[in-house]
Amino acid sequence: MGIETTGKLHTIFETKQVSERFTKREFVIELADNPKYPQVVLFQLTGDRCTQLDGLRVGDQVRIEFSLRGREWRSPSGEIKYFNSLDVWKIEAARARRGDRDRDVDGDMPPPRLDDVPPPLDDIPF
């Protein structure tokens, strides 16, 4: 299940080595769906994706793509518990559409891409 959301980075945790072959890095996003009641939601990156948080800071506006995951666990005494996780596939600085150009959320223009530059005009008649 692919879900997308945007929000402000609230907390970034260090990468944890959970087992010999499994690492995870958790972070919290403040969702601004309802400013009167902001929601702070815990997400996680795993494996090689943990480095996607490098270069981002608390307070940055971000866009994330994630999956909702769940599992059942039975304790040694037989009690069943359920756990959910929000597994992030991609996190990046948020962009806002303004007119025909992308701008950073704070209004700065990104550098032009080659496919954004129009071809030179050739108005010589011969």
Whole-prediction pTM: 0.70
Banded pLDDT at 35 (limits 50, 70, 90): confident
User: Is 108 within a domain?
Assistant: no
User: Is 124 within a domain?
Assistant: no
User: Is 90 within a domain?
Assistant: yes
Q: Domain range for residue 91?
A: 3-100
User: Is 26 within a domain?
Assistant: yes
Stretch 86-113: mean pLDDT? 65
* Res. 36: pLDDT tops 90: no
User: Is 11 within a domain?
Assistant: yes
Record the tokens describing residue 77, joined without a space: 């005494």
Which 3 state secondary structure label does DSSP give 82?
Answer: strand
Instruction: Report the number of distinct structural domains present in the chain.
Output: 1
User: Is 123 within a domain?
Assistant: no
User: Is 50 within a domain?
Assistant: yes
Which 3 state secondary structure label does DSSP give 33?
Answer: coil
CATH assignment at residue 85: 2.40.50.140
Banded pLDDT at 125 (limits 50, 70, 90): low
How far is Cα 6 from Cα 33, in angstroms, rounded to an integer? 9
Which 3 state secondary structure label does DSSP give 15?
Answer: strand
User: Is 120 within a domain?
Assistant: no
